[in-house]
Amino acid sequence: MVATTNTPAVRLRQVAKTYNAGAAEVAAVKGISLEIPFHRFTVVVGPSGSGKTTLLNLIGCIDTPSGGTVEICGQDVGKLRDNLLSDFRARNIGFVFQGFNLIPVLSAFENVEYPLLLVGMAVRERRERTMAMLDAVGLTEHAARRPNALSGGQKQRVAIARALVKEPQLVLADEPTANLDSATGATIIELMRRVQRQSNTTFVFSTHDPQLMSHADTSFAIRDGVLTDSHGSEQP
Amino acid sequence: MIYLLKIALRNLLRNRRRSAMTGSAIGIGALALLVFGSFTTYIFAGLQTNLVQHIGHLTVFRNGYFLFGAGNPAAYAIDDYQKVMQLIAADPTVGPFVNVMTPTQSLVGIAGNFENGNDAAKTFLGVGIIPSDRDKMRQWNEFGVSRVAAPDDRLTDDDSSRGLVGGGLARILGLCAQMKLSNCVAPPAQRPTVVASATPDLGLADLAHRDLGSGASAQATDPEISLLAATAGGAPNVVDLRVSGVDPQGAKELDDNYVAMHFALAQQLVYGRGEHKATGIVLQLRRSEDLGKARAALNQLFQREHLDLEVRDYVELTPFYAQVVSLFGSIFLFMALIMGVIVLFAVVNTMTMNVMERTNEIGTIRAMGVRRGGIRRQFIAEGLVLGAVGATLGAILAVAVVVSVNAAGLTWWPPGQASPTPLQLDLFGRPLLLAGTWLALTVIATLAALIPANRAAKMSVVDALRHV
């Protein structure tokens, strides 16, 4: 990682992503350029099919752009081979998925602990940090439960704890409230905001609900694969 | 590694029925291989024991006897066989290995029964033995698969006139009624007409005492048959043999021709008043594993002493044994191959379904930073656990089956044997079979998981996350 004080957490330059849908090509992202500074709570807003998820996938280094460059924490991730990219994600990026995506055979504690195993943390520190994270999301008493014994909101809390436990530079949340009722969704957004402030992590989350933009330090609006609006940030 | 295996086990328990079915396939494979392997071990041990009890581990012959001696045993006899036996007994390498060393005399001839109105004759294959040595050899039971034979008091060292015949020969010679044999059919009253008379011009009975004199007196209870053979010099010779009983042989051809007699009587018949020799010196060793060393030492001894002798082991003398070993070995290999293929396909199928069902999960952990190798290891670990658990259950089941069968006291007729023996499956005596089967099935299951594991590892993260 080559981040300096002037380096943004995310820098996209003319990033495009085209999918082959049979004979036709579908451009999901069309030459987007943006920068997201560190320690910001950023929201990407757009309707379904606007390219939010593709944009987050590119930022999360789980998809490769058809054109342009993606720099995360100062690292041009296009230059990293698969194993190094995996290691980069393991160290620097946390994910919160719309469908929670908890590992069903692991307890809440083990799900949160899992990312720390990937970075080779010592057992004692791993356990302490996992418990602290579960405490931060209010799930200490549910630590031993498997995901199927948790409610939707509790699952998403575990997912947030899992994303944050390794103290990543960047946390990406793709429509984290889409599968939750509005009250639980609001609680989750509040929780994300709170832990982001506490951990001072850069948070990027996508939503199709424009009302959530009010929670963000920075926001981008996207439609048909093109940025249509931005607040709190400068496009390069 | 422990964490990986723990997660693998939990993943397998997610779909218990599927895992149980695949584990059962592996377990049944292990069970079949282990039980059949135990059975073949028992067969080999039983056959070996039977052979060693009858023909010993090694037989010393005069050079050429093995290839040509059957046509004229006397011509290939060992001169001064007693001196050879003394040399063998004194040899510091061979001597301690030997349990029984005994001379034998093989011969061929014609046996006839002309008593009580009978007029039956039949060619025979005879063997001269020392009764006490025969009894001692029959006690050999290194592998514990044979019933301990009681001493056969029908033959004794001090009465050279007595002998045993095969059940078939007893029937052909019309001895059934006289010997009160069960399962023995008397010859029909009206025999088929033959073109030329098989009865020699000079009756066997008339010839019987030409060389023997009146040394062998008959007992009223045992029937007496006459044995005609050519002496080493080519002259016909006849002796009387009191048939003390029947010694059934496993093969009909042998049963219809077999005559066992006292070594001295066989020598009398073959050598008459000439120098008494032996066609073979049988060595029964205490332990079969010493066979190679004993054979090598014997060859060195004969070379050193310039003796025109060769050594053959029981496998060479009984091609049937090697054929049975080869047959059962082939069947076992065939079974192992079939089981291996079944396990392979069962595990590939199960793991492929697991990969399909967990595609989204694969995408999730790849996004979290697990390398492709980590995904591969996870599914391979599941194959390993599946194989190990299935093979272990199969092994436990096999132990239970073996113990139950052995405790049931079942008997059966092994190939080539004339009497039933207890069925004792031998699994514990073959730790390599147990370990090898377990390891082979576990490795096959692990390797089988490699195919779906590679598929899982190669998935695109985004495509995997999109999978519903």
Could A89 and B368 be called an inter-chain contact, meaning their C-beta atoms sit closer than 8 Å?
yes
State the pLDDT at residue B193.
Answer: 56
**A118–B368 CB contact, under 8 Å:** yes
> Pick from B307, B342, B362: which residue ends a domain?
B307
Same domain for B435 and B397: yes
Note the pLDDT tens digit of each residue in B84-135. 999 999 999 999 999 999 999 998 899 998 877 777 888 999 999 999 999 9
Q: Which residues contact B387 (CB under 8 A, 6 or more apart)?
A: B26, B343, B347, B441, B442, B443, B444, B445, B446
Write the pLDDT tens digit of every residue in B39-85: 888 888 888 888 899 999 999 999 988 888 777 777 788 988 999 99
How many domains, in total, are found in chain B? 2
**Are B161 and B40 found together in one domain?**
no
Q: Name the residue facing A89 among B7, B367, B462 (closest C-beta).
A: B367
Q: Do both B39 and B84 map to the same domain?
A: no
Q: Are residues B281 and B386 in the same domain?
A: no
Cross-chain residue pair A106–B7, CB shorter than 8 Å:
yes
pLDDT surpasses 80 at B287:
yes
Q: Do B408 and B293 belong together in one domain?
A: no
Give the residues of chain A that fall short of pLDDT 50.
1-3
Can you tell me which residue has the tokens 């009909």? B252
Q: Does B141 reside within a domain?
A: yes
What average pLDDT does chain A have? 86
* Domain annotation covers residue B265: yes
pLDDT band at B355 (very low <50, low <70, confident <90, very high): very high
Task: Calculate what percentage of chain B has a pLDDT beyond 90.
Answer: 54
Residue range B11-29, pLDDT digits in tens: 888 888 999 999 999 999 9
The answer to whether residue B391 sits within a structural domain is: yes
The CA distance from B184 to B186, in Å, is: 7
Question: How far, CA to CA in Å, does B340 sit from each of B326, B383, B433, B443, B456?
Answer: 21, 14, 15, 10, 23
Closest CA to A230 of B462, B333, A222, B103: A222
- For residue B156, count CB atoms less than 10 angstroms from its CB and return exposed for 0-12, middle for 13-18, buried for 19 or more: middle
HSE-CB for B435 with a 13 A CA cutoff: 4
Looking at the fold, whether B86 and B229 belong to one and the same domain comes out as yes
Mean of the per-residue pLDDT values for chain B? 86
Rg for chain B (alpha carbons), in Å?
32
Helix (H) or strand (E) holding B466: helix B461-466
Residues B370 and B427 in one domain: yes
Residue from the list A86, A88, A104 with its beta carbon closest to the beta carbon of B370: A86
Residue at B105 is within a domain:
yes
In a domain, B340, yes or no: yes
Domain hosting residue B10, numbered range: 2-48+322-465
Of the partner residues A63, A90, A101, the one whose CB lies closest to the CB of residue B364: A101
In this structure, the strands spanning A170-174 and A202-207 are: parallel
With an 8 Å Cβ cutoff, are B465 and A115 in contact? Answer: no
Q: Give the whole-angstrom CA distance, residue A71 versus residue B454.
A: 30
Contact B178, B223 (CB under 8 A): yes
Helices (H), A22-81: 52-59
Residues B75 and B41 reside in one and the same domain? no
Residue B59 forms part of a structural domain: no
Q: Check CB contact of B11 with chain A, cutoff 8 Å.
A: yes
- Same domain for B284 and B399: no
Of the candidates B413, B412, B129, which has an alpha carbon nearest to the alpha carbon of residue B248? B413
Q: Alpha carbon of B94 to those of B132, B283, B293, B301, B308: distances in Å? A: 21, 10, 8, 9, 18
Is B58 part of a structural domain of the chain? Answer: no
How close, in Å, is residue B350 to chain A by CA atoms? 18
- One domain, residues B406 and B274: no
> Based on the domain organization, do B103 and B189 belong to the same domain?
yes
Instruction: Mark whether B262 and B136 lie in a shared domain.
Output: yes
pLDDT of B289-314, one tens digit each?
Answer: 999 999 999 999 999 999 999 999 99
